[in-house]
Structure 1
Amino acid sequence: MHKIALAGCGRISKNHIEAITKLKEEGLAELVACCDIIPERAIEAAMKAGGSCKSYTDYSQMLKETDTDLISICTPSGLHPYQAIEAAGAGKNILSEKPQGCSLEACDRAIEAADKAGVKYMVVKQNRFNPSIQLLRRAYEKGRFGKIYMILANVLWTRPQDYYDMAKWRGTYELDGGCLSNQASHYVDLVQWFGGEVQNVTSQYSTQKIKMEAEDTISVALKFKSGAIGSINATVLTYPKNLEGSLTILGEKGTVRVGGFALNKIEHWTFADEDPMDEEVTNTSEAPQSVYGHGHLPYYRHVLDVLDGKTEPMCTGKEARKTVEIIMTSYGK
């Protein structure tokens, strides 16, 4: 059974704990330690995990004392690469939440540290495992689109001022970023995953309502080496609630739009030629209770397969770096 330690017991950690708990029921993995600078959070997370899970407030101490083969990092984004470096130094495999970091330099140092230590360095991209996105990927890899002309992503969500006021690091460029880096990073990942090598990135952004350093609204234009055009629009100012989280691909022989409020429903699926996979479209829709979806469990299954040598990682540190580069370029950094 794989032993996992968790760094950061805030908002997203719930999804990790639930996924690991399910894997424990199957005899595949267990959470043996949790760490958070707020003691109550670490204790609560350890209690949810059950068993002999131990709580810590010192990350370095947890790494030193805990016998684990995977560290899951769920702390503020800007800390991710630095804690990955420390985990690599301790000989631990790494699973980092998105985004990989808030600077390319830090991400590169983390990639180098993991390579030097010979440990796995993976980044959570759970939306790649959404049933709708999996079906879309199969159509893409089968060449059903022909030449791709345009890829569009819209993240039209809402976050109140209270969300940013919960912690001083929220909405800062050093530790969080704005709506592109935080809310839309999975969509940036998908746009580049389907679009391929990026040739040029430009953006327009502003902070219109939320009192924070980074942007609350942004529009990013990309040109891919293939000649295709990409567009990413993100905001946290949608009234009165989350409206849309969508990905649209326009190709020579096909058009697909995956929508809902979190890439959970295929809303348009048209190709020049029929294929048996078309019959699967109606079965891919989900009704997640949050924008995080249901992808953490299948992603953890994938991670365990990687650790067991059964498959290659879908999103390594080097792959995740592509998303960070687009975000940092959009910010002019």
Structure 2
Amino acid sequence: MIKFAVVGMGHIAKKHIEAIEKAEGAVLTAVCDTNPERLRDFDGKVKTYTDMETMLRENEDIDVVNICVPSGLHAKLTKIVAEHKRHIIVEKPMALKLEDAEEMIRVAKENKVKLAVVHPNRFRPAIQKLKEKMEQGAFGKLSHANATVRWNRNQAYYDQAAWRGTKEFDGGVLMNQAIHNLDLLLWLMGPVEAVQAMAATRLRNIETEDVAAAVVQFKNGALGVIEAATTIYPKNLEESIAIFGEKASVKIGGRTANFIETWDIEGVSEEEREKLIDEINSDPFGKPGHQWIIEDMVQAIQEDREPIITGEDGIAPVKLILAILESAETGKRVLLS
């Protein structure tokens, strides 16, 4: 069994713990949070710690540490874990600064440990089917893509904790809410060459943007439109990803991008399309993405290979978001290297 520890017992840690409990070959050994109140539910079940380094020193058998602390602390904790020669699963975004993300990748390689970044939306059944079709070349020449996140995060959400909505620890709608959607955009369409964008803080009392819009050009020549907002009234409206090419138009949508809304592909009959839609609708969420990532890390350790979502994968949407924010601030077109 591969032994896991979770650091940072906030909301997202619950998904990690559930995934570890369900994952084949994984077992939860310890949890850590600087606030002892958050550890009470684990008393007598697993080892609990208020200091991560103490946890690592006292438990040399911990194989993997899942980092679930505020985003601005990811780089610092990743470095400590890597220096203790433990593998790492870090929540999104892997870092808020490019230099921090690059340092995380460097320190993991230097210490010969595996670094995985949590982008679970790749494992949604509808997204998997879309990726499969794109890899088969079913779209022909790509025209453009659209990535949309129209969600609600009211002021009470940001007021839950002092770090929410800050530039140092959290980031705005792009880094926090839209980054999974942008990861899908890059995973499906490939790297971005240039971006022109605007962003604003319209409705929430926070340091960062609560709405943003961007136009991008991919290295393959296709265009893309990005819209992200936490200002939608009164609740989440939609998350969608749409791809358009000379032989296909596909949109995956819903409140979260789990459902096929458009599936028009040359050579695919109406009967085949309806069968696929029924298949997706019968189980639109599939195995939880966090469980996929946990199980993949188990296998990556056993097989001594890279995780399915690497640090290099994790840095790509961070680079895109930072370019969008730079363009919004300067009013200029920004080129990505």
Equivalent positions of 1:162-201 (< 5 A) are 162-201=156-195
Asked if 1 retains the 8 angstrom alpha-carbon contact of 2:192 and 2:217, the reply is yes
Asked if 1 retains the 8 angstrom alpha-carbon contact of 2:126 and 2:284, the reply is no
Map of 1:10 onto structure 2 = 10
Map of 2:332 onto structure 1 = none
* RMSD over equivalenced CA pairs, Å: 1.9
Gaps in structure 2 of 5+ consecutive residues: 330-337
Map of 1:56 onto structure 2 = 49
* Structure-2 change in CA distance of 1:312 and 1:282 (3 Å): farther
3-state secondary structure, aligned to 1:204 = strand
Equivalent positions of 1:143-292 (< 5 A) are 143-274=137-268, 278=273, 279-285=275-281, 286=283
Equivalent positions of 1:28-107 (< 5 A) are 28-44=25-41, 46-47=42-43, 51=45, 53-66=46-59, 67-107=61-101
For residue 273 of structure 1, report the CA deviation from its aligned partner: 1.4
Counterpart code for 1:183:
Q
Separation in 2 of the partners of 1:35 and 1:80?
14
3-state secondary structure, aligned to 1:231 = strand
Counterpart code for 2:30:
A
Q: Is 269-278 or 53-62 further displaced after alignment?
A: 269-278
For residue 221 of structure 1, report the CA deviation from its aligned partner: 1.6
Asked if 1 retains the 8 angstrom alpha-carbon contact of 2:149 and 2:240, the reply is yes
Asked if 1 retains the 8 angstrom alpha-carbon contact of 2:216 and 2:224, the reply is yes
Residue deviations 1:7-29, cap 9 Å, x none? 11101111111111112xx5x11
* Structure-2 change in CA distance of 1:90 and 1:203 (3 Å): same
Residue deviations 1:282-308, cap 9 Å, x none? 2123466xxxx9321222222222122
Asked if 1 retains the 8 angstrom alpha-carbon contact of 2:114 and 2:306, the reply is no
Give the percent of matched residue pairs that are identical in Structure 1 and Structure 2.
40
Separation in 2 of the partners of 1:127 and 1:277?
24
Separation in 2 of the partners of 1:312 and 1:59?
25
3-state secondary structure, aligned to 1:100 = coil
Residue deviations 1:123-173, cap 9 Å, x none? 011000001111111111111011111111111000111111111111111
3-state secondary structure, aligned to 1:180 = helix
3-state secondary structure, aligned to 2:303 = coil
For residue 277 of structure 1, report the CA deviation from its aligned partner: 7.2
For residue 240 of structure 1, report the CA deviation from its aligned partner: 1.1
Separation in 2 of the partners of 1:144 and 1:311?
30
Higher normalized contact order (CA 8 Å, seq sep 6+, divided by chain length): 2
Asked if 1 retains the 8 angstrom alpha-carbon contact of 2:125 and 2:284, the reply is no
Separation in 1 of the partners of 2:278 and 2:308?
26
Asked if 2 retains the 8 angstrom alpha-carbon contact of 1:74 and 1:97, the reply is yes
Counterpart code for 1:281:
I
**TM-score using structure 2 length:** 0.91
3-state secondary structure, aligned to 1:42 = helix
* Structure-2 change in CA distance of 1:38 and 1:205 (3 Å): same
Pick from 292, 302, 306: which aligns with 1:298? Answer: 292
3-state secondary structure, aligned to 1:308 = helix
Counterpart code for 2:279:
N
Q: How many residues align?
A: 323
